[in-house]
């Protein structure tokens, strides 16, 4: 695997994290749709300032902790690698909780991933550029849905 050969341990850890979290997120969404709501409808939520502070703090702590871990095991670019772990991790948490701000974290992941692979693999950078475009479209769509939900009467 190219990521391990290059010493990018975060890429591997992120894949393992998603392998665990994707089914968990799916089960949470199914549970909420079947047991918590009378109607099965998508309701995008928005973070308030307290939520932003919480999730940005989690991102910084995640980034620094994993950067230190990767540095201690001899990673090639420990802090460049760990920032994508942080943004991916928080993005997944926000996605599971149905927050539109997940897309900002996904976009940040893609920008940092392009930087991480700079000079290493043009093909992988291209993949993350396409993901970045997808993230921007997702942000637009979820923002539109969140606005529609705030316009609805309670």
Whole-number pLDDT of residue 101: 94
Q: Which of 69, 66, 62 has the alpha carbon at shortest distance from 92?
A: 62
Please report which residue ranges of 73-121 form alpha helices under DSSP H. 78-96, 102-116
Q: Provide the number of structural domains found in the chain.
A: 1
107 lies in a domain? yes
Ramachandran angles phi, psi of 149, nearest 5°: -70, -30
97 lies in a domain? yes
Ramachandran angles phi, psi of 99, nearest 5°: -100, 135
141 lies in a domain? yes
69 lies in a domain? yes
27 lies in a domain? no
87 lies in a domain? yes
120 lies in a domain? yes
Give the global pTM. 0.75
Please give the residue range of the domain that contains residue 83: 47-149
Query: Assign residue 119 a region: left if phi > 0, alpha if psi is -120 to 50, beta otherwise?
Result: left
pLDDT band at 1 (very low <50, low <70, confident <90, very high): very low
Q: Which residues contact 111 (CB under 8 A, 6 or more apart)?
A: 132
88 lies in a domain? yes
pLDDT in tens, 49-86: 999 999 999 999 999 999 999 899 888 888 988 998 99
Contact between 67 and 90 under an 8 Å Cβ cutoff? The reply is: no
């Amino acid at each position: 695997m190219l990521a391990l050969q290059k010493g990018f341990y975060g890429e591997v850890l992120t894949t393992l994290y998603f392998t665990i979290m994707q089914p968990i997120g799916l089960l949470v969404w199914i549970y909420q749709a079947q047991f918590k709501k009378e109607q099965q409808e998508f309701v995008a939520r928005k973070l308030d300032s307290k939520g932003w502070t919480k999730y940005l703090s989690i991102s910084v702590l995640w980034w620094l902790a994993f950067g230190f871990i990767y540095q201690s095991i001899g990673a090639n670019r420990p802090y460049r690698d760990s920032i994508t772990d942080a943004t991916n991790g928080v993005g997944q948490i926000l996605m599971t909780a149905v927050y539109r701000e997940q897309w900002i974290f996904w976009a940040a992941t893609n920008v940092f991933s392009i930087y991480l692979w700079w000079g290493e693999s043009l093909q992988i950078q291209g993949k993350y550029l396409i993901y970045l475009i997808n993230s921007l479209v997702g942000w637009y769509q979820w923002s539109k849905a969140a606005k529609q939900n705030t316009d609805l009467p309670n």
